[in-house]
Structure 1
Amino acid sequence: MRKSLRGKQIVACGTLVALLAATTAAPALAVTTNPLQRALDRVTAQGGAPGAEAVVTDHGRVTETRSGTGDLTTGKPYPHDAKFRVGSVTKTFVATVVLQLVADGKVQLDAPIERYLPGLVAGNGNDGRQITVRNLLQHTSGLYNYTDDVLTADPESLRHRGAEPGELVAIALQHPPLFAPGRGWSYSNTDYIVAGMLVEKVTGRSLATEIDRRIARPLGLRDTSLPGRGDEHLPAPHPRGYLSLGGPPADFTDFDPSTAGAAGGLVSSGRDLDTFFSALLAGRLLPAAQLAQMRRTVPAPTEPGADYGLGLIRRTLPDGTPYWGHDGGIFGFATLAGALDSGRAAAVSVNELPAPDGVQQNTETAFEIALARK
């Protein structure tokens, strides 16, 4: 999940955590005329991240650029067609499924969540009768972000913990709402945990099954899946995922991602993310009416330069070209993914989070170069 795309550390399930990163000896930058390669090398050789990858898809042509290592123990390079944890990019998948249910007439965007999950959101001033499905997908519900509590713990204590969605919602409901529904904007992973529960209640199937049958299989996304509780291992090929806690980078590849769940637990690849965002913006996953709703944005005051739709962020490249996408961070991995309306798509992944301060800015620059480069 995530907290911010620019200017802040994306960490674990989306909460800003002030952690010191270790300084490690970095190799010199290789001489290259490829601007994307140079940008990724700045992420690794200068920034200190172990490895990074950019996958660009433009009208069926796929290019992959890699830098650094996927395994600090063996020194193996960042693997080709790598699978990794995508964090809050999960939210765009979940919002797409919910909007498909809206198109099917099974969910109404402006209906209260109480209609579908009676009694779930109640207490301490939280009222599911006042919070709509749109509020959840748009982060205008006012619900407290449960990860602000969960991530105060030592990461190692969370490695095998896992959680059920209802448990995560209960953590959030220990706090009063941040504002009345629809009267503010605040990024809350709780919103998407509830949205995932909505999908399961309405369909009678798991969220993982619905993402697979409604998105992954129709688009041929072979690397995309939502792990269940206790499923701690990444499928091969994958880089190791690292985090820095004031000492040498620690391997945090294997852990139970159900603490992120519908808000950030998805596994995918750069190629799959490109295919997904291109297909989404081209109208292959949603009817025109629902895609238009997804692209209706509200200001995101804590996210400079960003407007938030329904699980979809609108930003602009340095030349002013708008793009749509999402970023994500979870222990060991940071991801940025999105597409232009023209269909060109890019996904950049880095296998360290938390990471040194310079890594995030360099990663964002690499992503902008990947998406804009002709």
Structure 2
Amino acid sequence: MTARLRRTAVGVAAAALIAVPLGSGAVHASDVAPPDPSPSVSVSASDEFPLLTPAVAAQLDEAVKKVMAEARVPGVMVALSAPGKGEYVRTFGVADKATGAPMATDMNMRIGSVTKTFTVTALLQLVDDGKVGLDDPIGKYVDGVPNGDRITLRQLAEMRSGLFNYSADEDFYKALTSDPERSFTPQELLAYAFEHPVLFEPGTKFLYCNTNLILLGLVVEKASGAELADYINREVVAEAGLKHTLFPAGAEFPSPHAHGYTDQTASGKTEDATNWNPSWGWAAGAMISDLADLRSWAKTLATGTLLTPATQAQRLKVIPALPGAGYGLGIFNVHGWIGHNGSLPGYEALTVYLPQPQATLVVMLNTDIDFQGSEPSTLFGEAITKIVTPDHVFSLPAQPVGH
């Protein structure tokens, strides 16, 4: 299996931003033992954010087009804004290579590991409701989990469980790529993971892992008495006021949507992955959204409007994960930018928020093919933030995928 497939399940943020295996994120996650439990992400005293003037927009256009050309990205949409500074909203390239139809801002896209932010929000809502405890062992809710009596829900959300990432399993990769429109159940996904020994003791290291989110999705179902998709669509998506965000029941993909292109295929050649069934990502990466909704979600996620202040504070308490990045409860802090990235065969997304200037950056694109070992979404994020927030550059070195 390719490293990227394993990244897929990661998501925006350090790891996610980096790239995740076919899971549903985008993190290149390595085993990293944090030196101490306190946040290590430095924030510069300078938090100036420029007016998004035509001159700045021209710089951004040039930077985006350069990444597109180098990484051979078919199409991308970008939204950057901050109160009192204006906004930069652009689309580039094509949504369909066969017809040449242009990318448009109203198109639905698969968001990969950004899904993790919705799943963990659902979990934290149940914490606020007193239905689950972050320090409960996963074995209280799901039977048969290795170390299930010692791995806590908090450690699952922090990516510190020590469990094997199912999307890094060779048999899973073969099953998915041989029939990418098939459906997987959460139990089938866990079975791939549990065939492998645990990788480390709970809480001792960071390792981006889609298995963790599958388990948290099952906890949400058990504690709420509802199907995960129904709960998230009702209690998270609707409560956040999102109009075009969906946890799909199957392979449905509302129109209009962009076609997605991947090389994580059985043949190794680039193919159209638009109709691949995202069930294999489930709570780790199955969701769909659009540019307007992710712009709204970036602020909701980072400011915690769906949670109590105390629970949001726990969510944002990051532990060092990757160089320049910390990971909290289903959320990254990359040089001050808070949010997540996502990567799924054919699609990538980056959804982040910078608190001081209240700046939002969203990037959505229709390929997950790496360029020189980096996720395209990370390259776009880095190029854009170098221009507008040079003291807070969204950049992460590619890391070896742990498996």
TM-score for both structures, normalised by structure 2 = 0.79
Deviations 1:179-232 (A, max 9, x none): 11112221110000000000001111111111112221122211111112xx22
Q: Tell me which residue corresponds to 1:66.
A: 91
Q: 1:366 to 1:280 in 2, by over 3 A?
A: same
Q: 2:346 maps to which residue?
A: 332
- 1:78 equivalent among 99, 103, 111: 103
Counterpart for residue 48 of structure 2? none
Equivalent in the alignment of 2:256: 237
Q: 1:32 to 1:104 in 2, by over 3 A?
A: closer
- Name the residue aligned to 2:247: 226
Where does residue 397 of structure 2 map in the other structure?
Answer: none
Cα distance in 1 for partners of 2:281, 2:107 equals 21
- Structure 1 counterpart of 2:339, which letter? G
Q: Could you tell me which amino acid in structure 1 is paired with residue 126 of structure 2?
A: L
Trace 1:50-129 onto structure 2 (pairs within 5 A). 50-59=74-83, 63-117=88-142, 119-121=143-145, 126-129=146-149
Q: Distance in 2 between matches of 1:211 and 1:255?
A: 22
* TM-fit CA distance, 1:51: 0.7
Q: Which residues of structure 2 form unaligned runs of 5+? A: 1-8, 29-54, 391-403
> What is the DSSP-based 3-state SS (H/G/I as helix, E as strand, rest coil) of the residue aligned with 1:338?
strand
Correspondence for 2:153: 133
CA positional deviation for 1:58? 3.0
Provide the rounded CA distance (Å) in 2 between the counterparts of 1:75 and 1:134: 46
- Equivalent position amino acid for 1:40 in 2: V
The corresponding residue for 2:274 is 253
What displacement does 1:144 show? 0.6
Quick check: 1:47 aligned with 2:84?
A: no
| 2:350 aligned with 1:350 | no
Maintained 8 Å contact 1:109/1:134 = yes
Residue matched to 1:165? 186
Provide the rounded CA distance (Å) in 2 between the counterparts of 1:160 and 1:326: 26
Which of 262, 283, 294 aligns to 1:262? It is: 283
Please list the CA deviations of residues 291-339 of structure 1 after superposition, one character each: whole Å capped at 9, or x if unmatched: 0110111121xx32111100010111xxxxx120111100001111110
Say what the alpha-carbon RMSD is for the aligned residues. 2.6
2:215 corresponds to which of 194, 214, 227: 194
Check 1:147–1:220 CA distance in 2 against 1; reply closer, same or farther (3 A cut): same
Match of 1:363 among 380, 385, 391: 380
Task: Tell me, in whole angstroms, the C-alpha distance in 2 between the residues paired with 1:370 and 1:78.
Answer: 24
Superimposed CA distance per residue, residues 89-148 of structure 1 (whole angstroms, 9 cap, x where no aligned partner) = 11111111111110110000111111222x231xxxx22111111011011111110000
Match of 1:20 in 2: none
The CA distance in 2 between the partners of 1:336 and 1:12, in whole Å, is 16
**Aligned pair partner of 2:205 in 184, 193, 198:** 184
C-alpha distance 233-38 of structure 1, shift in aligned 2 (>3 A): farther
Alpha-carbon distance in 2 for matches of 1:83, 1:7: 20
Residues 8, 177 of structure 1: alpha-carbon distance in 2 compared, 3 angstrom cutoff: same
Q: Provide, for residues 28-79 of structure 1, a one-character-per-residue CA deviation record: whole Å limited to 9, x for no partner.
A: xxx9962222222123233211011112343496642111111101111112
Distance 1:173 1:248, change over 3 A: closer
> How far does the alpha carbon of each residue in 1:218-271 deviate from its partner, in whole angstroms, 9 at most, with x for none?
22211111112xx22421121110013687642111111000000111111122
Partners of 2:16 and 2:167 lie apart in 1 by: 19
User: 2:243 & 2:200 partners in 1: Cα distance?
Assistant: 41
Q: 2:61 aligns with which of 9, 16, 37?
A: 37
Task: Give the count of matched residue pairs.
Answer: 346
Closer, same or farther in 2 for the Cα pair 1:212/1:15, shift >3 Å?
closer
- Provide the C-alpha distance between the structure 2 equivalents of 1:351 and 1:206, rounded to a whole number of angstroms: 29
Q: Distance in 2 between the 1:173 and 1:77 partners?
A: 43
CA contact (8 A) 1:55 1:270 kept: yes
